[in-house]
Amino acid sequence: MTETNIGAPIKRVEDKRFLTGRGRYTDDLNQPNQLYACILRSPHAHANLKKVDVSQAKAAPGVIDIFTGSDMAADEVGSLPCGWQIHSKDGSPMHEPGHPPMAVTKVRHVGDQVAIVIAETKSQARDALDIIEVDYEVLPAAINMDEALSGKALVHDDVPNNMCFDWEIGDKEATENSFSDAHKVVSIELVNNRLIPNAMEPRAAVAQYDPSNGNYTLHTTTQNPHVIRLLMGAFVLQIPEHKLRIISHDVGGGFGSKIFHYAEEAILTWASAKVSQPIKWTAERSESFVTDAHGRDHETKAELALDKDGKFLGLRVSTKANIGAYLSTFGSSVPTYLYGTLLAGVYKTPAIYCEVKTVFTNTVPVDAYRGAGRPECTYLLERLVNKAAKETGIDPVEIRRINMIQPDQFPYQTPVALQYDVGDYPRAFETALKASDYEGFSSRRKSSEDNGKKRGIGISTYIEACGIAPSAVAGALGARAGLYESAQVRVHPTGSVTLYTGTHNHGQGHETTFAQIVSDTLGVSIDQVEVSHGDTGEVQFGMGTYGSRSLAVGGPAVLKACNKIIEKSKKIAAHILEASVDDIDFKDGVYSISGTDRELAFGEVSLAAYVPHNYPIEELEPGLDENAFYDPLNFSFPAGCHICEVEIDPETGEVEITDFTAVDDIGRVINPMIVEGQVQGGLAQGIGQALMEGCVYDNEGQLLTGSYMDYTMPRADNLPNLNVSTESVLGASNPLEVKGVGEVGSIGAPPAVINAILDALSSLGVEDISMPASPSKVWQAIHNAQ
């Protein structure tokens, strides 16, 4: 193995530009004659727009123009589309009310777009916002889900009771029967707290229209530029793809929140043609809070049926999912196919039924946030399993052992549509127990008790479906797009390589990981490989990065394109070496005839492809540039076990995470350093959800957690060192044998933390606590129990 090969922890090639302040984030870019935009946003959760008077603001210093929703409507600008159609139990399609980029008749959440001011400087644009006069007729708002379902206030007039859809999965009858046969039924009610993703880079966009050729260019902070081009071009602005270029070079974190096609992208692109000058908009953090799609926000009742030995017989789940004021790009897929399909977890539960009512409210749209549906699923399952352990008197370790799918049971068909391809759940589980010194916990508990503290340990297992997705399967489930990935490998005449990938790197280290795949496959050194992404003008096509799909779907596309390069190069080498193609071996960048010393270097063959003097020209075209599309055969299924240990000060309710152990099966590891970083980052967000983060609206729909002063996220002194390792079974559904790693931390961590807290407080009589388990909530729970 050379140091750049698959499996080596090589340092990231992208780091130098970030460390020297030379990243190219959207707000870093400026165009000649650029104007600046600020957006007027609704201060009300729900109101009729009676009148928007921009006349005085238009005359303000530096103001070039101001546009409103009516101006966009007059140009027949379309509605922001949803990419996934769900059908209700009764077969009817989900309600898809219009989502105009700027409000026309009504605003539906605090932050909804009302007008855009374009001025010579940002300060001038901002000043002018204050003198736009808007006559709002404030309406009653639907904020919490029960209230919304009562239908007293309708977010969209044509959606009765604010119910977007009422979906189900699983065999209801079989599940009911399993409950009639049950020795014991354990039930739980849970809230999966609403989160605000908060990538550190606020969203931004720079739009430019070239009147000389009718071309549009939009620099935007997106995780999937081609998807934005498709959605905005085809559905919103009617700009054909060849006239619309979307560029997102460096993006400062996404975690899902930068997947979606946002209104500002369409508003800026449209307005740039109106004023025939480039326009830049950058969100202030307070705007991000009220416009970036939020995550989670489920209320769930679940019941588990068990036999007399503690074996799971059936699982019944009823969930209400908040979808916010509008359907965001993938908002409908998150509480359905990314949630209900994972309810088997790593267990042999034979019958499962789940129903999900998805509800419009006068809040920011809710969509995918790191884990997307799978954290919600894992949280309910692992909380329920722990509760079952307690109520049956079976140890939490033992109840998991006896219900776990065994390695000889694969492929394993779950009762909720998915077929797990391969895995060894007991292996990761037992490894985690050992790595966390589970056996030694009681003595640590005693030490804590001696110091007046309460100590607890909590386990969570999880499974997730990544590598989204086989297009035909996704399509059958309602996806309105294919979910393959593309790669183009361009070998230059001297043998260096540019890889164009349709995935997007916003922190995941693709420029390194993907270069390692190319380096390994083609035998060129890693400094001879450049990875290009994030520009629809350069990359042929792509579906972008989310759902831990980049390596599982994008990686095999890279491999496939590299193999096409090798296939063609072998023919060139065979011609030059005057041998049969079948006799040509390719290894470590050298073409040779087996059993002889005749060989050609990778660079020599590349040069021959571009200087085809001695070349099989009748059979082969010159050049060495291959592209590939890869559509996966199945999802991939990372799984693992997370164990959290906490110490709680009962006097203050403060929870300290003393140890966190994560053992994850993520398939083949390309770069272990990057993998560890991905798991650590995910764990921090999962721990954040469990202990600190929670989005709070008041009854009028004002966001009370609208800044970093109010929305608490983990800081360095809130977290311990994280004990992270992998225990992998190679993936069976793609040729790279990878599974995906980006989301495992945020999926496994929350129930491990809460189970640990409940374990610690069990002796005090505390039976339940909701996330985030803040010190005040923990303190209150202790006092309520006494």
Partner 1 sequence: MPTVSMTVNGESVSSEVEPRTLLVQYLRENLGLTGTHVGCDTSQCGACVVHVNGKSAKSCTMLAVQAEGSEVSTIEGLADGDTLHPMQEAFRENHGLQCGFCTPGMVMSAIDLVQTNSDPSEHDVREWLEGNLCRCTGYHNIVKSILAGAKAMQG
The footprint of partner 1 (CB under 8 A) covers 11-12, 14-23, 25, 27-28, 123, 198-202, 250-253, 255, 282, 284-286, 506-509, 673-674, 676-677, 680-685, 707-709, 713-717, 719, 721-722, 745
Q: Closer CB to partner 1, residue 141 or residue 703? A: 703
Which tokens is 133 given?
């006069």
CB of 429 to partner 1, least distance (A): 23
The CA-atom distances, in angstroms, between 146 and each of 39, 44, 150, 320, 628 are 32, 20, 6, 9, 49
Residue for token pair 């104007």: 35
CB of 251 to partner 1, least distance (A): 7
DSSP 691-753: HT----B-TTS-BS--STTTS----GGG----EEEE-----SSSTT-B---TTHHHHHHHHHH
DSSP 547-598: TT-IIIIIHHHHHHHHHHHHHHHHHHHHHHTTS-GGGEEEETTEEEETTSS-
With beta carbons less than 8 A apart as the criterion, state whether 328 and 260 touch: yes
With beta carbons less than 8 A apart as the criterion, state whether 498 and 626 touch: no
Q: Closer CB to partner 1, residue 468 or residue 657? A: 657
CB atoms near residue 596 (< 10 Å): 10
CB of 709 to partner 1, least distance (A): 5
The CA-atom distances, in angstroms, between 503 and each of 99, 244, 540, 687 are 27, 19, 11, 28
Name the DSSP letter for residue 501: E
- Phi–psi pair at 450, nearest 5 degrees: -60, -25
Q: Closer CB to partner 1, residue 89 or residue 715? A: 715
Q: Closer CB to partner 1, residue 433 or residue 683? A: 683
SS (H, E, C) 326-340: CCCCCCCCCCCCCCH
With beta carbons less than 8 A apart as the criterion, state whether 207 and 217 touch: yes
Amino acid at 318: S
Q: Closer CB to partner 1, residue 476 or residue 716? A: 716
| 3-state DSSP assignment of residue 690 | helix
The radius of gyration computed from the CA coordinates of the chain, to the nearest angstrom, equals 27
Amino acid at 639: A
Q: Closer CB to partner 1, residue 99 or residue 510? A: 510
With beta carbons less than 8 A apart as the criterion, state whether 519 and 529 touch: yes
CB of 61 to partner 1, least distance (A): 12
CB of 535 to partner 1, least distance (A): 18
CB of 118 to partner 1, least distance (A): 17
CB of 663 to partner 1, least distance (A): 16
Q: Closer CB to partner 1, residue 123 or residue 409? A: 123
CA 492 to chain centre: 34
Q: Closer CB to partner 1, residue 121 or residue 776? A: 121
CB of 497 to partner 1, least distance (A): 23
How far apart (Å, rounded) are the C-alpha atoms in residues 134 and 481? 39
Q: Closer CB to partner 1, residue 111 or residue 507? A: 507
Q: Closer CB to partner 1, residue 506 or residue 668? A: 506
Count CA within 13 A, CB hemisphere, residue 349: 32
With beta carbons less than 8 A apart as the criterion, state whether 427 and 407 touch: yes
Q: Closer CB to partner 1, residue 56 or residue 707? A: 707
Q: Closer CB to partner 1, residue 310 or residue 547? A: 547
Q: Closer CB to partner 1, residue 21 or residue 211? A: 21
CB of 288 to partner 1, least distance (A): 9
With beta carbons less than 8 A apart as the criterion, state whether 250 and 27 touch: no
CB of 480 to partner 1, least distance (A): 29
CB of 267 to partner 1, least distance (A): 21
| 3-state DSSP assignment of residue 298 | strand
CA dihedral of residues 72, 78, 84, 89 (deg, nearest 10): 100
Residue for token pair 């499962």: 352
CB of 209 to partner 1, least distance (A): 23
